[in-house]
Amino acid sequence: MSKLEDVVSLCKRRGFIFPGSEVYGGMAGTWDFGPLGVMLKRNMMNAWWGFWVDKRDDIYGVDAAIIMNPKTWEASGHVATFADPLVECKECHGRFRADKLVDGATESITTEEFLKAKVKCPTCGKFNWDEIKKFNMMFQTHVGPVMDDASIAYLRPETAQGIFTNYKSVIDTIYPNMPFGIAQQGKAFRNEISPRDFILRDRECSQMEIEYFVHPDSWEEEFEKMRKEQHEFLEEVIGLPAEMIHELDVPAEDRAHYSKRTIDMMFDYPNGEEELMGLAYRTDFDLSNIQNASGKSMEYRDKVTGETFIPHVIEPSIGVERLFLAILTAAYQEEDDRVVLKLPENLAPYKFCVSPLLKNKPELVQKAEEVYKALKEKYIFVTWDDSGNIGKRYKKQDEIGTPKCVVIDFDTLEDGTVTVRDRDTTEQKRVKIEEL
């Protein structure tokens, strides 16, 4: 199992992830994706979209606004319930999530239960706690030139409501067959009390969510289909080891306020088992609330039977950063004198690295440039490296997960073959340029 500090170090060293606003001393809970991180992230998000949307006929995409009418968050229950248990140390005034200071605690922990655990303040070491308070995690902002109660709005804490508020528009324009889904990828914002564990718990993150609308009588069947498809996506498309993924049937007291059943796909991260992907049965909670709050019908009329009903919803949801870290965790390996990221080829930032054996030999450089341009045109994700000796180049490409290194040497000038080195096995073989 890789260590979190090793993964963090690799991300910084090789340009996957940088601390947010680092030049100004950073900002807790924010992270910036560097050149290689952006490429891996895009490949990962494209793989998700391809699996859940592009290859299917029953799921459609939307891209909703981040700032929405504040009535959205009142109807959804977020204004009233989207809160974490906040506890403050009376000595140093440090503030923490109470449930994260007590082993095995849940978000419903009480002050009495917390004090019984005899937890000392992580900052000052004292045992002098205030009562637990509920802290709403939504970021508040103001829309327009006047800052008053009438101008209050929120940065969305989830992408799901952007889907629900567009449900009626999709019905009116597309009129899809039931069951059907609406998918969205985008930013979400949560004012975490204590962001931690690298990119696992951020204040700004990206989500990939689907709201799958089903007949109320068929939710269990569709829920089970989605559960199996989640495993297919994580294990076959993303390439995560099945033995690192575990299912947790979330008990009622720990489920979100909208959920009647939730299964969390847990993953073995370096810091322990954490949630990777969720599958929630949201019933008709959201659409019924929207109908009541807006006065507009959210009913669907069946094309065959003519039956009208408010659909129930099954939601597969995953955080981009959590999936990103899971991929790095599974791929990171230390072997003898090298660090290697054994990324699946469909996710690796670069598919090939092209190098001249010697950069001070014009004939080798010219031929290598020809090969590079040909591969770049065919595969796009190709990089060039002529720095240092060939061994150092291999080590660098191993660290960033490049599956194949192509080296142009003097034999290339004679017989048109190149050396192709495999990242995972380190084996090398001669291949005709036209066969690359």
Task: Determine how β-strand 245-249 pairs with β-strand 204-214.
Answer: unpaired
- Distance CA(257)–CA(250), nearest Å, equals 12
Res. 117 pLDDT band, cuts 50 70 90: very high
Residues 422/428/434/436 CA torsion (nearest 10 deg): 0
3 state SS of 432: strand
Q: Which residues pair with 60 in a beta bridge?
A: 182
- Distance CA(90)–CA(225), nearest Å, equals 50
How far is C-alpha 52 from the chain's CA centre? 15
Res. 419 pLDDT band, cuts 50 70 90: very high
Q: Which residues pair with 85 in a beta bridge?
A: 134
- Distance CA(5)–CA(284), nearest Å, equals 43
Q: Which residues pair with 95 in a beta bridge?
A: 88
Token pair of 92 as six digits: 């140093």
Find the range with the poorest average confidence among 81-85, 174-178, 271-275: 81-85
Q: Are 370 and 418 in contact (CB under 8 A)?
A: no
% of the chain exceeding 70 in pLDDT: 100
Tens digits of residue pLDDT in 203-250: 999 999 999 999 999 999 999 999 999 999 999 999 999 999 999 999
* Closest by Cα among 274, 275, 286 to 314: 286
* pLDDT for residue 53: 98
- Distance CA(219)–CA(205), nearest Å, equals 29
Rg (CA), the chain: 25
Instruction: Kindly tell me if the per-residue pLDDT of 81 is higher than 80.
Output: no
Res. 84 pLDDT band, cuts 50 70 90: confident
Whether residue 179 has a cis bond before it, omega within 30° of 0: yes
Higher pLDDT among residues 145 and 347, named by residue: 347
Contacts within 8 Å (CB) and 24+ apart, 301-307: 302/178, 303/175, 303/177, 303/178
* pLDDT for residue 177: 95
Give counts: helices (H), strands (E), the chain.
13, 23
Handedness of CA 22, 26, 27, 33 (dihedral sign): positive
Instruction: Kindly tell me if the per-residue pLDDT of 1 is higher than 80.
Output: no
Instruction: Kindly tell me if the per-residue pLDDT of 69 is higher than 90.
Output: yes
3 state SS of 370: helix
* pLDDT for residue 100: 87
* pLDDT for residue 169: 97
* pLDDT for residue 288: 96
C-alpha distances (whole Å) from 351 to each of 121, 239, 304, 379, 419 are 48, 16, 49, 8, 15
* pLDDT for residue 19: 94
Tens digits of residue pLDDT in 181-207: 999 999 999 988 878 889 998 999 999
Which segments within 2-76 are labelled E, that is strand? 17-19, 31-33, 59-61
Instruction: Kindly tell me if the per-residue pLDDT of 82 is higher than 80.
Output: no
Which segments within 284-389 are labelled E, that is strand? 300-301, 308-309, 312-319, 332-335, 338-341, 352-356, 382-384
- Distance CA(425)–CA(36), nearest Å, equals 23
Neighbours of 257 (CB within 10 A): 11
Res. 137 pLDDT band, cuts 50 70 90: confident
Find the range with the poorest average confidence among 27-41, 91-105, 200-214, 333-347: 91-105
Q: Are 375 and 407 in contact (CB under 8 A)?
A: no
Q: Are 419 and 430 in contact (CB under 8 A)?
A: yes
Higher pLDDT among residues 254 and 316, named by residue: 316
* pLDDT for residue 430: 96
Res. 147 pLDDT band, cuts 50 70 90: confident
Res. 255 pLDDT band, cuts 50 70 90: confident
Q: Domains of the chain, with CATH numbers?
A: 4-78+145-331 (3.30.930.10), 83-136 (2.20.28), 350-435 (3.40.50.800)
Q: Which residues pair with 140 in a beta bridge?
A: 154
What value does the mean pLDDT take over residues 9-35? Answer: 94
* pLDDT for residue 195: 83
- Distance CA(344)–CA(226), nearest Å, equals 23
C-alpha distances (whole Å) from 113 to each of 37, 49, 101, 311 are 42, 43, 12, 40
Task: Determine how β-strand 417-422 pairs with β-strand 59-61.
Answer: unpaired
